[in-house]
């Protein structure tokens, strides 16, 4: 019994020296968080009559957990993802959708410029919309001023501000790229109310060009 105990202590000491214990704890806790996220997303999907898809596969071809549903006339996808911020990977949540009437334009709205990533961003011009509260809270880059006005009507701007204020000013980025809309924010979101708001924002963004033309 004493030999077994001594052997166990020796193994633990060796593992501590190589950082193996730290890695084991990290991956165990990470796995626990993933399972917890999947459990909560499955309940959320069931409550909304959406479809839940658990994580599948392994690196480098693993697919993150996702929820597929429909908000109004827009098909949306909620998925877990990762962004590198300040050199460190950060867990995020993203909601996707596609506009029924795509506009060949690009608009990015962010509360944290570190979340706006990609070489194509540098081709977009920073601009303001003349909406004092919105311009103060969020930054806009767009392929043209007309695109910014068309894809960011007042109702969508208010919805984005509401999402920002209801989540304690979390870091968010809304991208509208040639009809593809995505809303990404830091953290693995499990609050049903926030997921509802985010889906509503994406659905509204997908409909923005049609709404803009209807009220011109």
The pLDDT assigned to 19 comes to 32
The pLDDT assigned to 38 comes to 94
Is 98 within 8 Å of 206 (Cβ atoms)?
A: yes
Distances (CA, A) of 14 to 4, 24, 27, 100: 15, 14, 19, 59
The pLDDT assigned to 97 comes to 96
pTM: 0.79
The pLDDT assigned to 44 comes to 98
The pLDDT assigned to 13 comes to 34
Question: What residue ranges of the chain have pLDDT lower than 50?
Answer: 1-30, 212, 214-216
Is 207 within 8 Å of 159 (Cβ atoms)?
A: no
127-172 pLDDT, tens per residue? 999 999 999 989 999 999 998 999 999 999 999 998 887 655 568 9
Q: Quote the CA–CA distance of 81 and 104 in Å, as a whole number.
A: 26
The pLDDT assigned to 1 comes to 47
């Amino acid at each position: 019994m004493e030999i077994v105990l001594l052997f166990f202590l020796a193994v633990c000491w060796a593992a501590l020296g190589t950082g193996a214990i730290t890695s084991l704890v990290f991956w165990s806790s990470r796995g626990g968080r993933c399972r917890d996220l999947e459990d909560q997303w499955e309940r959320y999907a069931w409550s909304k009559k959406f479809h839940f898809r658990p994580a599948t596969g392994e690196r480098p071809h693993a697919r993150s957990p996702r929820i597929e549903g429909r908000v109004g006339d827009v098909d949306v996808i909620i998925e877990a993802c990762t962004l590198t911020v300040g050199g460190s990977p950060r867990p995020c949540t993203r909601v996707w959708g596609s506009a029924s009437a795509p506009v060949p334009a690009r608009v990015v709205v962010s509360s944290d410029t570190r979340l706006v990533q990609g070489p194509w961003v540098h081709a977009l011009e920073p601009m303001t919309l003349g909406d004092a509260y919105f311009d103060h809270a969020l930054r806009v880059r767009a392929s043209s001023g007309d695109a910014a006005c068309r894809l960011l009507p007042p109702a969508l701007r208010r919805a984005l501000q509401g999402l920002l204020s209801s989540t304690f000013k979390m870091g968010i980025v809304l991208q509208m790229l040639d009809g593809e809309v995505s809303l990404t924010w830091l953290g693995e979101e499990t609050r049903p109310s926030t997921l509802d708001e985010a889906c509503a924002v994406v659905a509204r963004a997908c409909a923005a060009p049609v709404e803009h033309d209807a009220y011109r």
